[in-house]
Amino acid sequence: MSKSESKPSTSSAGAVVAKARFERIRKDHAQELAEDYLEMIDDLTSASGEARAVDIAAQLGVSHVTVTKTVARLKRDGLVTSQPYRSIFLTPKGKRIADNARRRHQTVLQFLLALGVPADSAEIDAEGIEHHISPATLRAMRKYTDENS
């Protein structure tokens, strides 16, 4: 690159905004991952009385090591309890988060189905949308489905 050519410069204000945006995205993705794990732990516990790391890994299609690291973070955040080589259980706080995520999922799913989205697509789309939807949009979806059911 010659001296007459220069890289585009980013203003410091623009850099601050970009940094904040990416921090928010990383935080949202971490929250999404936590909610997915909490829902899975709740589902497994409801179905078989326990959630084992090997079962979580199989259901989510991730490695046992990934589950172990994520469960350690959930444990640190007070969302699950576990002992080495034992089952994983939700704390009351973890159960509330799982229940809220499940309700958001059902609201989004019912809304998409009411719009005529095919069930298989609606289920997949709802899984992504449920983690990123605002309370106002969720209320509007709930109102729409209540009025059009």
The predicted-structure confidence for 3-19, as pLDDT tens digits, reads as follows 545 555 556 777 777 77
CA distance between the termini of the chain: 63
What pTM was estimated for this model as a whole? 0.78
Please, which residues have CB within 8 angstroms of residue 60's CB and are 6 or more apart in sequence? 36, 37, 40, 67
Full residue range of the structural domain in which residue 112 is found:
94-147
Residue 5 belongs to a domain:
no
Mean pLDDT computed over 24-29 = 72
Tell me, yes or no, whether 27 and 83 share the same domain.
yes
Residue 10 belongs to a domain:
no
Count of structural domains within the chain: 2
**Lowest-pLDDT range of 16-20, 45-49, 69-73, 80-84:** 16-20
Query: Residue 14 is encoded by which pair of tokens?
Result: 């623009």
Tell me, yes or no, whether 109 and 142 share the same domain.
yes
- Is the pLDDT at 21 greater than 90? The verdict is no
Query: Residue 60 is encoded by which pair of tokens?
Result: 């989510």
Tell me, yes or no, whether 34 and 73 share the same domain.
yes
Residue 69 belongs to a domain:
yes
29: confidence class by pLDDT, cuts 50, 70, 90? confident
